[in-house]
Amino acid sequence: MSDNKQKRQPQNQKGGEGKVPPRGWMLLIIIMGLIPLMMMMKEGSMRNQQEISHPKFVELVESNLIAQAEITYNPQSSLREISGEYIAETESGQATRIPFKIKTSVSEELETKLLQSGKFKPVEPNTFLMNILYAVLPILLLAGIIYFFLIRQVKMAGKGALSFGKSKARMMVKGKNKVTFKDVAGAEEAIDDVRELVDFLKDPKKFQNLGGRIPKGILMVGAPGTGKTLLAKAIAGEADAAFFSISGSDFVEMFVGVGASRVRDMFEQARQNSPCLVFVDEIDAVGRSRGHGMGGGNDEREQTLNALLVEMDGFDTQEGTILIAATNRPDVLDPALLRPGRFDRQIMINLPDLRGREEILKVHARRFKLKESVDLSVIARATPGYSGAELANLLNEAALQAARFNKKSISMHELEEARIKVRWGRERKSLAMTDDDKRHTAWHEAGHALVNVMLEHTHPLHKVTIIPRGQSLGSTMSLPEQEMFNRQRREMVDMITLAMAGRIAEEIESGDISTGASGDIQQATQLARAMVCQYGMSDRLGMVQYGESSEYVFLGRDMAKSKEYSEKTAQEIDDEVKRLIDECYGKAKTLLIDNRDKLEIIANALLEYESLDGTQVEEIAKTGKFTPPPTAGSDDSMKGEDSSEPLPESPKPIPPEIGSGLGSPAPAPL
């Protein structure tokens, strides 16, 4: 790294802290501190002197016992200050010197005798210097106080005001960042794309000889927790170049023009350290589309965005600065920011698939102590839709649970319990449910479980439980057998049918209904409306998209849009959604009434054992008989220390399982 980089580096530290005052002021402070110290030392030495009377002093002079002394003359007084040492005899007979002082009037005859003895020295007091010192010292003290508490604060305030426009980008020192591409898993395609940046920075001539130009900007797009920031750290660890990192919110300030000034200063620092990488996290904080928002556009934010656009690809741009940005809201970014020449390349970092989840688990498992019997591929198959951050949290939760029970290593039981805890929440053992609530919950979940195993196009049932977790009083968990990338119409119809089964089972048991099916109703409605409006799965309305997806909401832009279909079409959409749900409701009700005996067996088994495996529910649905599990009263049939039940493979992008129980939160939309 060049000397220029080393000079720029201290500027990235937090300014204004620990600055050394000028040398002149340091010297003045030392002198002002030494003078009182010397006066205190002199005063302390004078305190050790014995004050004697005039007769004793005369007696000592006549006895020739004065060893040495000084006579200080005071022009403003006739008294003389005499200090020195006289000789005295101790009890053991040895001679010793004792310091003394006296302030008395001395006759001319005695004074002449003292001076002629050679033991007394006359001392003239330096009154001129002392007067100057006494006159100047208070002024110096007052000036120092004024400087440090007033003038210096004003100067620092001025520097602080001027520093508002300085970039807050932090330069990453090479050697401190130990993250490399080996620490990033589940994003092989993204790693291949960004590896070109590292290769170009190490050997730019290899690309330039072919006429190639390095991308000026790379935008990493992905859901939260997929590893965008981790990938940027890996680029910094691999690249032999300067690396600046900053958050999009660091450009935002209460003062006008500060954001644009910080953008210019950041690129100025980057040019001085060229070639270099600049990473902007959460760029949507400053890169939102211009001209949108409640009440019109924000001029200050748009100035910041304009400065960013000009610096990336304007009239006076230079090669050597590569901007890497990350966001999970690409829909709100300004089109001018996304065009080639600014962000030349967009890298999608999706949720990991089965192989990616297993690799991520292996990377994070390096710092955990796992049992040899632990099979991470089983956990990978059982964690569909988990991001890298969620998988890391899963391992951490398993470690915390193992430590809570004083175990020396993590087993499959802790991993399975952590998986359920991360997805559905922790067991609410303290929740006091009445017998009626438990019975309603058991029948509700029994309805979901029975319909799940009887329908042809549903995912295999994994487990059903009436133990409260998170906001739900019970859960019916189903996991797909293999990776899925789209859904069939009959599969979605069966999912709506499955969602209706809980309410129907409650009504069969008690003749009444409760609020526990609110989450099921919401999920079924969203699924049916998506089939009609987005996926073209309605024969009545055809293959037409009615309205845009509401997954991302941009308030100012969306409010300005007019409705894209008529009121008549809206009525037809509502009728078609209701028709789909009613048909699925009737299908689920027929299945449960025809198999009421099996439904009752499942509900009673849940009331007794609280949890059932999918295989046990399938046995009841096929034979009408229930084989009790080996251990009763447990939340999880995988309570064995080394239990590793093979869980089915599962897809990447699925919502929480249908039938998440009474009082369950609404599932994520498709």
Higher pLDDT, 22 or 572: 572
Residue 632 has pLDDT above 50, yes or no: no
Q: Which of 390, 445, 576, 610 is catalytic?
A: 445
Higher pLDDT, 177 or 433: 433
Residue 17 has pLDDT above 50, yes or no: no
* The predicted structure's pLDDT at residue 468: 83
* The predicted structure's pLDDT at residue 31: 61
**Under a CB-based contact definition with an 8 Å cutoff, are residues 350 and 339 in contact?**
no
pLDDT tens digits along 266-284: 888 888 877 778 888 888 8
314 — pLDDT class (breaks 50, 70, 90): low
| Mean pLDDT, range 151-180, rounded to an integer | 57
Residue 578 has pLDDT above 90, yes or no: yes
Helix (H) or strand (E) run with residue 159 in it? helix 152-162
Torsion region of 64: left, alpha or beta (phi above 0 gives left; psi -120 to 50 gives alpha): left
517 — pLDDT class (breaks 50, 70, 90): confident
| Mean pLDDT, range 499-522, rounded to an integer | 89
Among the ranges 49-58, 75-84, 584-593, which has the highest mean pLDDT value? 584-593
166 — pLDDT class (breaks 50, 70, 90): low
User: Lowest mean pLDDT: which of 130-134, 232-236, 415-419, 499-503?
Assistant: 130-134
| Mean pLDDT, range 571-584, rounded to an integer | 93
Please enumerate in sequence order all residues whose Cβ is within 8 A of that of 296, keeping only pairs 6 or more positions apart, or say none.
none
pLDDT tens digits along 185-197: 888 888 888 887 7
* The predicted structure's pLDDT at residue 130: 63
* The predicted structure's pLDDT at residue 645: 38
Task: Classify 472 as helix, strand or coil.
Answer: strand
576 — pLDDT class (breaks 50, 70, 90): very high
* The predicted structure's pLDDT at residue 177: 62
| Mean pLDDT, range 621-640, rounded to an integer | 60
Higher pLDDT, 412 or 650: 412
User: Lowest mean pLDDT: which of 103-107, 165-169, 279-283?
Assistant: 165-169
Higher pLDDT, 41 or 354: 354
CA dihedral 129, 131, 134, 136 (to 10 degrees): -70
**Under a CB-based contact definition with an 8 Å cutoff, are residues 492 and 531 in contact?**
yes
The DSSP secondary structure of 188-245, one letter per residue, reads HHHHHHHHHHHHHHH-THHHHTTT----SEEEEEE-TTSSHHHHHHHHHHH-SSEEEE
Higher pLDDT, 441 or 160: 441
Higher pLDDT, 272 or 357: 357
Longest dimension (CA), the chain: 140
Q: Is the pTM higher than 0.75? A: no
Distance CA 422, CA 267 (A): 42
* The predicted structure's pLDDT at residue 126: 59
Residue 296 has pLDDT above 60, yes or no: no
Residue 512 has pLDDT above 60, yes or no: yes
* The predicted structure's pLDDT at residue 637: 38
User: Lowest mean pLDDT: which of 28-42, 225-239, 500-514?
Assistant: 28-42
Cα–Cα distances (Å) from 570 to 45, 200, 429, 543, in that order, read 102, 55, 46, 15
pLDDT tens digits along 442-458: 899 999 999 999 998 88
Annotation says 619 is catalytic:
no
pLDDT over 90, % of the chain: 11
User: Lowest mean pLDDT: which of 23-32, 276-285, 499-508, 547-556?
Assistant: 547-556
14 — pLDDT class (breaks 50, 70, 90): very low
Residue 562 has pLDDT above 80, yes or no: no
What 8-state DSSP symbol labels residue 259?
H
Distance CA 201, CA 239 (A): 7
336 — pLDDT class (breaks 50, 70, 90): confident
* The predicted structure's pLDDT at residue 664: 40
User: Lowest mean pLDDT: which of 239-243, 472-476, 629-633, 659-663?
Assistant: 659-663
In which residue are the tokens 């069969």 written?
A: 508
Among the ranges 48-57, 301-310, 657-666, which has the highest mean pLDDT value? 301-310
Q: Domains of the chain, with CATH numbers?
A: 3-40+130-165 (no CATH), 49-125 (3.30.720.210), 170-349 (3.40.50.300), 354-423 (1.10.8.60), 430-623 (1.20.58.760)
| Mean pLDDT, range 93-97, rounded to an integer | 78
Distance CA 42, CA 210 (A): 83
| Mean pLDDT, range 554-572, rounded to an integer | 69
Average pLDDT score over the chain: 75
495 — pLDDT class (breaks 50, 70, 90): very high
492 — pLDDT class (breaks 50, 70, 90): very high
* The predicted structure's pLDDT at residue 588: 93
259 — pLDDT class (breaks 50, 70, 90): confident
Q: Which segments of 15-96 does DSSP mark as H helices, in order?
A: 23-47, 54-62
* The predicted structure's pLDDT at residue 582: 94
* The predicted structure's pLDDT at residue 572: 92
One-letter amino acid for residue 75 of the chain: P
577 — pLDDT class (breaks 50, 70, 90): very high
Distance CA 307, CA 305 (A): 5
pLDDT over 70, % of the chain: 73
Residue 571 has pLDDT above 60, yes or no: yes
| Mean pLDDT, range 517-531, rounded to an integer | 91
Residue 584 has pLDDT above 90, yes or no: yes
